[in-house]
Structure 1
Amino acid sequence: MATEEEKQKVRDRQKGYRQDEIVVIKAKEPVSLRDTRSELRVCAYCRVSTDNIEQTSSFELQKLYYEEYISKHDNWKMVDIFSDEGISATSLLHRDGFKRMIEECKKGRIDLIVTKSVSRFSRNVVDCIDTIRMLKSLNPPVRVFFESEGIDTADSTSDVMLNILAIFAQEESHTKSEIMQWSVDNRFARGNFLTPRLFGYKIDKDKPDRYIIVEEEAEIIRLVFSMYVTGYSPNEIADTMMRLGYVANIKGEYKWTSATVNNILSNERRSGMIIARKTYTPDFTTHKVRKNVNQRNKYQMVNHHDGIVARDIYNEALRIKELRRHRNYDIIPSLSVIKEGALKGFVPVSVKYSGFTIDNYLFASDFAYELDSNGNRREEKSKSIDKNRLSAFDLTGFEKVDSQLLASYERPILWFSNNKMYFNRACIDKMNGAHYIELLFEPREKLLAIRSSKSNHQFAIKWVIDKDDKLTPSTKTSSGISEILFDTMEWDNSLRYRMFGVKRQKNDDIVVLFDLNNAEALKREEYQIIDTNEIKHKTISLYDDYYMNHFGNDFYQDIYSMRLYLMDVFKKWNLDANLISVEGDTEWITIAKQTVDKHLAKLMEVENEQGWFNSKKGRYWWRWGCRWGWRIQL
């Protein structure tokens, strides 16, 4: 604590020392705007926030006004009139005229800015104050005169009033923004939507908020959707459109990109539906647009106008886009079935395609059989098991030991998770090192089968990695079929399921069958080694309660055994039997395929005349088209 003596010394110093010898050199007073002794380089800034015809008139009047206003002052030399038309003052982002003016100030070419009011200069408090401070710090400093408020920033007393007025200007802009938002919401809620010109449509003159289809453009839109839902990627579609020479937009441009294609596919208005308020502006000061993910109300009218494409095609395009985004997409396969031979009733599977349901697979499988009046399969004589041929003993009452009770990694094994599948090395060995296989599904018997396949086959799966002359199993994405199996078999999505296969071979034909009914649930658990505290994992098998009292199914009732028996007694397997296309395509997918067929035929005809078909790329596109059964007549 200070002593009384120290306090007295402080008091004495405050009384001053030799004050009569001090000379005050007074600061230079700011030149008054009315002082004609000094020349000022002056510019004006004017702005209107919308670009309609009435505001254009106001805008021109402002410019004329400032030309006359500056010329009336003898010592004012006009540098320029800077302006922004149709731009909001809540952000400096797009105000090009304002930014050019600031650059001229920084170059020392302006002494004074004249503007109508604080709200014309800026409605953002931070931008306004920061800009004024920056201008005052320049050398030479630049002052701003707000005419309506009579504020000159060269006056030190102007800061408080300027801050207050800037706050009011920002709040006024906020209020206007809220009113506009309410007006837009109210308009959409009444069904008065904004309908700008859209490629494929023109505006109805009698009903300005309605669309009329432009058939020449609509045909291109239909082709884009048709190609996409039948397996083409956006890049492939864009390439095809360029070669066909089709227009890409309302400007009549012919430049196609994947973004152009995606923009067409994403716009629901091509299906006759309209959704308003898909984006919104959360902050009126920044004007940054955000995707509306339920932060604001949306307004939808399903049948607003005539659609160019069917709603089913549009919905399928959206579904495919989502699948592609997660890389769980496979091109749309043909739903087909093997109608004869050892694999009769088996349906080829496109493992990543998730567009089919279990009902689709059941329908396809039943297509291979005759059905009775109730829609059930007719039993075939060849399907009844001859007990004497199976064994010299009567095995009634005996159970066939389930494969999971005799686990061995030397046997072919197939694993499924909720989006992956994996075959072990024994599977590759059993298939004699085939690089490509097909996966087949019998939905009623709940069996899976694999057989070798050619690389260019529609359902071919490359299931191995060839490295250092050694074939290694490859984990494959199987989101489509996994979803079907997990739902049908009521499997737990958190578990992995393993099933053991049985190989059957006749001459050069090889098949490995897997029984879904005997799939073994596997759970991955952590455990800790006490001595080292090391965390390791182990996989444990979860057996069904059924096996507490059983070894497996009754021998003569086991579907798996019956299918293996039939394969043994078949004189001819017919593994190469042609797939029978199931006549189950919906109308919209049929139309889509016909649309693509028509335009590809046109493309092939034109480019074949130009010798393009003999090129490597041409042959590729031909093979790709034929892969899906398009019969293009040249």
Structure 2
Amino acid sequence: MINEQKRLQKQQDIEKTRKRMQATIDPDNYEYVPEKKQTDYYDNDINQNVAIYVRVSTDDVKQTTSYELQKKYYEDFVLNHPNWTLVKIYADEGISGTSLKYRDEFIRMVADCKAGKIDIIICKNVSRFARNVTDCIGIVRDLASLKPPVGVFFESESIFSLKEDSQMALTFLATMAEEESHTRSRSMETSLRMRLDNGIPLTPKLLGYTHDANGELEINPDEAPTVKLAFYMYLYGYSTEQIANTFIALGRRSYLGNIKWTAGSIVQILRNERHCGDVYTRKTFTPNYRNHLAKKNRGERPQSRYFNHHRAIVTRDDFIAVQRMLDNAKFGNKSILPELRVIDSGILKGFVTINPRWSGFKETEYFGAAKSVYLITETEQECIPIEVKEEYQLEVGAGDFDLRGFEITRSEFFDSVRRPTVTFGDKKMKFSMECVRKFGEKNYIELLVNPFERKFAIRPTDKNNRNAVMISKVSNATYYPRDISSSAFSNTLFSLFGWNIDCKYRIIGSLYEQDNELAYIFDVINSEALFKPYVLTTQELSKEGQVSIQPLTPYGKRIRAIPEEWASSFGKQFYLHELSLAALESQSEDDWKLRLEGQLFKTGKKIAITEFDELKQYIKQEHKGVTPQEAHHE
């Protein structure tokens, strides 16, 4: 019964709908308003402001011919449409279409569209408009959303962007255009690798050289003196800015013919290994074919080095010396080849001086320098802790206390504020007030490290020492600790000590003093690590966020981690402590050479730099009466 009622109701609704659809229109009360005619490329009876866009991707001569032909063709093309008005031909020459960067005319054209100056854009094909899907589709849609909309007509594909059925074809063709660019990029990469594999490096034009008939580099006698002068002046002590000013005063020209020089352009000359006769390939590469941004090659692509590939303007040794100077200029270093010195006797035997403004020395060189003053058996024994070196015997007298099992409590367990400490971290190091107070007015120190014993030391020095650093600053006649930059050697030092670069480390030192000589020695074995709480896992923290495991304790905003052996003992066994003090007390005055300068340790291959007098004579000869500001020579 219910179903029958529903069926009848449905039939009645259908009849009502049919009657409503069959309604007649009263012509006296009805008016039809037709739609406006939409802009269409095929309509010649509508006045339209037309822009032409042409582009070629390289500045090759053949491409220039294509570029001029495109412009001529589309000028005639517009004239064949009587209702079209040519606004402008926007042309980018020698610019890639994979990115909008440097496409100034294209960007200007889009801006004119938004300003209402253009109704339609004519372009030869999709690849000329853009070789990037995102750019192509995005810009076309932006133009279509303008009021009034601006359409793009791609002649070769007969696609007009304002037509509803154009989007699928346009997206497909834009994708093909981008992939074509990608394929070309891979082909160029393959071609470059084949050249390098067959010993045919690319040698672009550069100052000081020209190419002979075979494409090989040969010295340009007119430009080579400029290159040589740049190297000699830098070796002599001039800064890159002073060299640039000198070149401007002398009217020296770059390989592009410019006489405007900057410090950066001088660095480019000094960094180019081809000036010493070598070729180093693939220093940069382009990982993304869309934006063409060059990236420094740090092993991502294979590289080749060709020695003595062509005649050199400067010697390879001069070139190497300049590279070392440039690498360390940011640390304030001014010397050509800082010396790595090692102390060969005394309490600081095996300690190597640290140059605070030189990053060239690495772990192996510090080990080599320290090892050079030890016998082979000594270096082996130095790596063995004193507790397991050998058994020891003690003579005791009647009535002496038996102190076996007793320990001398570590001073680190007590107040460390008045203790001599050094803290490393964040590319900086800082000594405690106790160290500063002890050195007083002698606030220039020398840094030393013993990689075998894993010890760090400081001693007073003269401020004229090229390795000197200032340990303190003065305020109201009082000396206070100051942060000392360790950027140049921090990574090497942390590696020598086996430290984590994300942590800070603090070491309490021991003072060694005799007469007017003094030094602080810091044993890395007893270093404390300071790190942020987030380093720990949630299981290592209590519910209140405090440290719940040992040997970790809170230390301000950081967590203090002490050596594991400290958690199971109060300090060193009494008789071992007495033994080490006795060994120190028995040393002779000759063994106490805290002021020993250290013997020179040669690292790597010795290089022969051009003599100072020869540098000076050549610079004087090339300056020809122009006297630039002299650099300061220590």
Please report the TM-score for the alignment, with normalisation by the length of structure 1. 0.68
1:242 deviation in Å?
2.3
> Could you tell me which residue of structure 2 aligns to residue 386 of structure 1?
none
TM-superposed deviation, 1:164: 0.3
In angstroms, what is the RMSD of aligned CA positions? 5.5
Aligned-pair CA distance for 1:219: 1.2
Cα deviation for residue 136 of structure 1 reads 4.9
Match of 1:453?
Answer: 461
Counterpart of 2:384 in structure 1 is none
- 1:441/1:190 Cα in 2 relative to 1: closer, same or farther (>3 Å)? closer
Matching of residue 160 in structure 1 with residue 165 in structure 2: yes
Larger displacement relative to structure 2 (443-452 or 114-123): 443-452
The one of 546, 558, 582 aligned to 2:600: 582
Residue 501 in 1 paired to residue 510 in 2? yes
Structure 1 residue runs without a partner (length 5+): 377-392, 627-634
Question: In structure 1, which of residues 80, 84, 87 is the aligned counterpart of residue 92 of structure 2?
Answer: 84
User: Which of these residues, 579, 583, 591, is aligned with residue 609 of structure 2?
Assistant: 591
Shift of 1:520: 2.6
Which residue of structure 2 aligns with residue 260 of structure 1?
265
User: Helix, strand or coil: the match of 1:502?
Assistant: strand
- CA shift at 1:273, angstroms? 3.0
Instruction: Report what 1:631 is aligned to.
Output: none
State the number of aligned residues.
Answer: 572
3-state SS in 1 of match to 2:442: coil
Moved more, 77-86 or 550-559: 550-559
Distance across 2 between alignment mates of 1:181 and 1:35: 43
Residue 566 (str. 1) matches residue 589 (str. 2): yes
Q: Are the structure 2 counterparts of residues 42 and 337 from structure 1 closer, same or farther at C-alpha, using a change threshold of 3 Å?
A: closer
Q: 1:9 to 1:95 in 2, by over 3 A?
A: farther
Q: Deviations over 1:89-142 (max 9, x none)?
A: 444443333344444444444444444334444444454445445555555554
The AA in structure 2 aligned to 1:45 is: Y
Rounded Cα–Cα distance in structure 2 between residues aligned with 1:9 and 1:316: 100
Retained in 1: the 8 A contact 2:341–2:598?
yes
Whole-Å separation in 1 of the counterparts to 2:151 and 2:364: 78
Quick check: 206-215 or 546-555, which moved more?
A: 546-555
SS at match of 1:437: strand
Query: Mean alpha-carbon deviation: is it higher for 581-590 or for 205-214?
Result: 581-590
- Cα distance change on mapping 1:168 and 1:209 into 2, 3 Å: farther
Q: Matched residues in 1 for 2:146 and 2:246: separation?
A: 58
Deviations 1:281-320 (A, max 9, x none): 5253xx3415266796444244372466666776777777
5 Å-filtered alignment, 1:532-543, equals 536-537=554-555, 538=560, 540=562, 542-543=564-565
Cross-structure match for 2:194: 189
Question: Is the 1:41–1:112 contact (alpha carbons within 8 Å) kept by the matching residues of 2?
Answer: yes
Q: How does 1:281-300 map to 2 (within 5 A)?
A: 281-284=287-290, 287-291=291-295, 297-300=301-304
Counterpart pick for 1:242 among 245, 256, 259: 245
Instruction: Check conservation: 2:341, 2:600, Cα contact below 8 A.
Output: yes
SS at match of 2:355: coil
Contact 2:351 2:449 in 1 (8 A): yes
Shift of 1:171: 0.6
Distance 2:59 2:456 in 1: 67
The alpha-carbon deviation at position 24 of structure 1 amounts to 1.7
Q: 1:182 to 1:129 in 2, by over 3 A?
A: closer
Q: Provide the C-alpha distance between the structure 1 equivalents of 2:353 and 2:605, rounded to a whole number of angstroms.
A: 22
Q: 1: CA distance between counterparts of 2:325 and 2:627? A: 35
Alignment of 1:413 with 2:420, yes or no, is yes
SS in 2 for 1:170: helix
AA at the equivalent of 2:264: A
Q: How far 1:456 moved relative to its partner?
A: 3.7
Q: Distance in 1 between matches of 2:301 and 2:346?
A: 58
CA separation in 2, counterparts of 1:75 and 1:11? 49
User: d(CA) in 2 for partners of 1:347 and 1:37?
Assistant: 89
C-alpha displacement at 1:539, in angstroms? 5.5
2: CA distance, partners of 1:404 / 1:500:
16
SS in 2 for 1:59: helix
Larger mean Cα displacement after TM superposition, 351-360 or 214-223: 351-360
Q: CA offsets, 1:426-470, max 9 Å, x none?
A: 333333443222345678998876443343432322112334543
> What amino acid is the match of 1:87?
I
Q: In the alignment, is residue 95 of structure 1 matched against residue 100 of structure 2?
A: no
Match in the other structure for 1:632 = none
1:68 to 73, 76, 81: 76
Contact 1:330 1:353 in 2 (8 A): no
Q: 1:222 aligns with which of 231, 240, 249?
A: 231
Residue 379 (structure 1) aligns with? none
What secondary structure is seen at the aligned counterpart in 2 of 1:25? coil
Q: For the structure 1 residues 329 and 277, does the alpha-carbon distance in structure 2 shift closer, same or farther, using more than 3 Å as the test?
A: closer
Cα deviation for residue 32 of structure 1 reads 7.5
Question: How many angstroms does 1:26 deviate by?
Answer: 1.8
Taking structure 2 as the reference length, the TM-score comes to 0.68
Where structure 2 has 5 or more consecutive residues not aligned to the other structure, the ranges are: 1-5, 380-396, 398-402, 548-553
Letter in 2 for 1:566: E
Distance in 2 (alpha carbons) for counterparts of 1:17 and 1:444:
105
Worse overlay, 112-121 or 332-341: 332-341
Cα pair distance change 1:268/1:604, threshold 3 Å: closer
Cα distance, 1:492 vs structure 2: 8.7
1:74–1:352 distance in 2 versus 1, CA, 3 Å: closer
Cα 1:328–1:554 change in 2 (3 A) is farther
What is the CA-CA distance between 1:511 and the residue it aligns to?
1.5
Q: Secondary structure at the match of 1:591?
A: coil
Of all paired residues, the percent bearing the same amino acid is: 25
C-alpha contact (below 8 Å) 2:131/2:181 kept by paired residues: no
- Report what 1:178 is aligned to: 183
CA apart distance, 1:178: 0.8
Letter in structure 1 aligned against 2:519: V
CA 6–437 in structure 1, closer or farther in 2 if over 3 Å, else same: farther
Query: Are the equivalent residues in 2 in contact too, given 1:431–1:510 (CA < 8 A)?
Result: no
- Using a 3 Å threshold, how does the CA distance of structure 1 residues 238 and 600 change in structure 2: closer, same or farther? farther
Distance 1:100 1:529 in 2: 60
Distance change >3 Å, CA 340–CA 147, structure 1 → 2 = closer
